[in-house]
Structure 1
């Protein structure tokens, strides 16, 4: 939710503490002045000889000291309030950082707030418990997907072998049914491999090296040029050296998935795909845009979900498993980045991947 910027809680507490001290000091000084004036009047009414300065002299002598005391209280209130507010809100800062870490997909982080039990500790402990349950649930889902994919690989491979043997048997005539079975089995194998890739990426079990996104984009483009030519799609690339840190193989898979999706979901004729890379002070950016059918915001928001497709594919080849963008999002999240999709006004899709930038040059 977008909100208007405002004062921080720490600054509000500081102002409150300083204002309270200032008000208390002003009340104290006012009470002292009233008490002194009342004492002088009562002494005069009793006929006592009061050796005291007049009201004007009293105000002149008392005012500088009163102002100095108020200024001291104000400064002391600001400094003391800032320090005290910082110490009181330190646990809240740790809880906020842990929340942001979890939002980026890392569920293994725990706050583990030390100290005696209070409201902040109760909140931190409850948050740690929630993260533990979420991590266990996600790990269970990942194990299920990985185990199911492994179990499916063997029978699918056997089926593929049997179909190849049947096709190469000279004493047997191939039929349209055989070809359909081979296509269905190939799609099932692709789906199984995609599910394995998805589960492995979510576990973040990969080495990180210095890579150049622009070189990865060129490599993916060269691989998919035959597919683009087959579907009458022109790929345009641009961008300078774009260093980041991650797995070369996974980032290549990410870029290939985005390019493949952009080629398949394109115009029937004379389509284009634009691939660009750029680097900023905080992010290395990969952008893939393609022409195609017009997509509504609601449809675009669901495209990174598994088995979702923006439009019905009219081509029989390269149908895919509906996991291309889901895998791309998972790879991006595993690299502590963000993937965003937006529809183009003239039709098609714009996909932007932001990864942490690095100042080091890629060898």
Structure 2
């Protein structure tokens, strides 16, 4: 976490110990922080009301709640859902579960840029479609989806529009009203906030029960005592990434991409970009195909040199399964699936670190190719 975020969390943890649901002084003290934090976060995505923000344990719970509870709450209106082939596992596994419960799911394909066709979306919508879940930005290749155009298309149907904005929130501006978003999921740690915390935006038209059963916290929308220190820290992290800071970070990360790509090219490394280098993409993610170099060998050698990269999402890095994102983009037989690395950048990374990555990676690849 960033310094000011840690300081905020530590201060609240040290000084505020009341339960925000209690009516005594200490409870009211906690409630004031909860309400203030909710207001800060609500304002960041332009909600109509602060209480449209529901704090959760993170992106996975938010995705699960949005998808599963919407399906069961609206099953009498229809049993058809739409998503994409490159969603996070929190979305895809929720959809897979619903398929076992009698729901039908359409998985929109993507092109080699990692983007859907809006025509495909229009054609997939039916009278019995109750939910469209399309991510704001992809966690493996950085491709962004056109939220505003998608929102308009879905708004003209009977469906609700949910977006997994875990990767995008804190890096791009999102306006739930202008984008006609009904449900939106986030995770605090993606913008240097605490882990195991996020929120689910639920528009005023959305009526779904809580996935977590228990008490009446979060206005009966999510049971469980609120983690006030972490929520206060989340709000502080949000305050630190206003529109100017988002643009600054995107520019910085784009520079990192350029530095890596140019450096590897100058060193004669044979590679290709998975997806595309585009100003429209999320700039903190870069996915590269290193031809004839298995990613497991690359990962091991880079790790031994203190460089942390992955072959896919961190949530599935321990899996031997190939990247479903690259499979959707290039086909299951593409060598890219077993020979690609995902680089991701944070606000504390430096240009010198990018040069170090180029130096080490180039040496490793040249050594592997001599075998």
TM bin, normalised by shorter chain, reads under 0.3
Q: For CA contacts below 8 A with separation 6 or more, give which structure has more relative contact order.
A: 2
Q: Which has the larger radius of gyration?
A: 1
TM-score (norm 2): 0.25
TM-score (norm 1): 0.25
More helix by share: 1
